[in-house]
Amino acid sequence: MILPENKPNMNLIKKLVLAAGLVFVAHTAFAQNNDCQKFHNGKFKLNDMPGIVVERDSLYQIERDPKTGHYAKYSIKWIDECTYVLHLVKTNDKTQRKGNRQIGDLQVKIIEVDGDVYTYSATSLKRKELPPIKGRMTKIK
């Protein structure tokens, strides 16, 4: 049985446990943000779309399909360490242009990092009712 004079101590313990949990969550989120930095630039392959090569620098992301010769050039704007927005600048694929007019810019969030592979979730900024597109990318350079 807890005596009335011990109740303040229990409240203090609850507060300390809650504070420790918040510190752990903040540390975990911060650690993931550090992992995202290595994906800001480089050469990648789309794991869910074999053959597609993605090259990214601080200003642009270019996606190429060597089999068809199609490419798409996007401007890239990093919102935070793990979130960026892609805006189609140029493509030679009519289907891609038409789809982009309907979907608009994509906001991409890196949701998991495992070595040189990341899992992303992309959502349309124009049509928020559309379900997110999920996939994985591997850094190859």
Q: Which domain covers residue 109, as residue numbers?
A: 35-139
Q: What is the pLDDT of residues 88-119, one digit of tens each?
A: 999 999 988 888 888 999 999 999 999 999 99
Tokens for 11, please give them.
Answer: 């409240």
CATH number at residue 49: 2.40.128
What is residue 18's DSSP assignment? H
Within-domain flag for 110? yes
* Predicted TM-score of the model (pTM): 0.73
In single-letter form, the type of residue at position 86 comes to L
What is residue 5's DSSP assignment? G
Within-domain flag for 5? no
Higher pLDDT, 60 or 34: 60
Q: Give the count of domains, the chain.
A: 1
Within-domain flag for 87? yes
Within-domain flag for 66? yes
Within-domain flag for 101? yes
**What pLDDT does residue 57 have?**
96
Q: What is the pLDDT of residues 5-54, one digit of tens each?
A: 545 555 555 554 544 554 444 444 444 445 899 999 999 999 998 899 99
